[in-house]
Structure 1
């Protein structure tokens, strides 16, 4: 082979090598670019996910605050926030007794005391729950009278009324009004007041 042919062959080999290197570099650059694009996309997606989580958390907190405000407004409207209104409770019992045609009703409120935390409504915030137990006994013509009375008290009392226990027994002798059942119930009348040391 002549020297001129060798030079041409060498030039072709160098050109082929250069093209191969250029092709490899292009592939490497393409892979690097694809990796950067994927990373950028992942970062953008992560940012969007974080923003969505923050928005969802803010909306959940807003809904929780709104629910607490509604609950507090409901308690205030019922008269369940502040001092006990025992005179109003007594009048409610008397009115309910007359409305449902009950005979003699014997009732007694116990002194007010803090409500057992296990029984207190959730999310009372800076309000402390207190309770006065009501023992109420009455003769009945039928069970429906008791159900109606308790429903009346639960719906209209300026407190949250919780029926703790209730027993029915048959009277040994009929009462003057013909009642043959006796009811003996214990109810918690729950009210709320600001916690000591809590914000005004």
Structure 2
């Protein structure tokens, strides 16, 4: 081979596309544009996040305001009901309907009525207090209705003695008469001031006692 052919061939220059050759002229503007778009996207995302936060806070504030308004309305309603029903409540409590049962008051009331009305001797037997099962649902406002059954026996000069006793008891306390039976005891001419009738009655003495507060079950937590 000749010496000329053994000489190295000159390197071929790489020709860049025109748009890449011209990019150096707008490189700064492209960088600014990219940064501007990034800042805009960040601003929009941040604005949407704050908007959602503000909407959630507004809903929470609205809920709190509605709750406060409802509590205020309920408090005003309760105040009006207390002013309206407090005299009746005090009267019912005075007559022994509300609160724990007081058997001594019942017995003392019968004794006083017997002495004042000059009635024949009265015998009775009180059974343990039991909850009263009502047929229909009744709102008792946190109270439970209980009854104590009394089996009562008394001799009568006439039927009016029994009615007087029951009416006087009704004025002093609350009871529900379950049944009464009257039978004649004297077959011949009645003797002066001698009983001619006898009555056997079953009465349910009623009381409203506060219902026990519900117990909150304690959850076990591992140590």
TM-score, with length taken from structure 2: 0.53
* Alignment CA distance shift 1:100-1:80 (3 Å): same
Q: How far apart are the structure 2 equivalents of 1:83 and 1:93?
A: 19
The answer for the alignment partner of 2:114 in structure 1 is 97
2:99 counterpart (69, 75, 82)? 82
The answer for the alignment partner of 1:195 in structure 2 is 211
The answer for the alignment partner of 2:156 in structure 1 is 140
Q: How far apart are the structure 2 equivalents of 1:177 and 1:109?
A: 29
Task: Kindly indicate whether structure 1 or structure 2 has the higher relative contact order, using CA contacts under 8 Å at least 6 residues apart.
Answer: 1
The answer for the alignment partner of 1:166 in structure 2 is 180
* Alignment CA distance shift 1:171-1:197 (3 Å): same
**Conserved? CA contact 2:180–2:202, under 8 Å:** yes
Aligned residues: 137
Q: How far apart are the structure 2 equivalents of 1:106 and 1:84?
A: 20
In structure 2, stretches of 5+ residues that fail to align are: 1-73, 215-223
The answer for the alignment partner of 2:37 in structure 1 is none
Q: Does 1:107 align with 2:121?
A: no
**Conserved? CA contact 2:186–2:195, under 8 Å:** no
**Conserved? CA contact 1:140–1:181, under 8 Å:** yes
Is 135-144 or 71-80 further displaced after alignment? 71-80
User: Over alpha carbons, which structure has the higher Rg?
Assistant: 2
Q: How far apart are the structure 2 equivalents of 1:191 and 1:137?
A: 23
**Conserved? CA contact 2:122–2:154, under 8 Å:** yes
Is 187-196 or 76-85 further displaced after alignment? 76-85
What secondary structure does 2:111 align onto?
helix
In structure 1, stretches of 5+ residues that fail to align are: 1-57
Q: How far apart are the structure 2 equivalents of 1:76 and 1:180?
A: 38
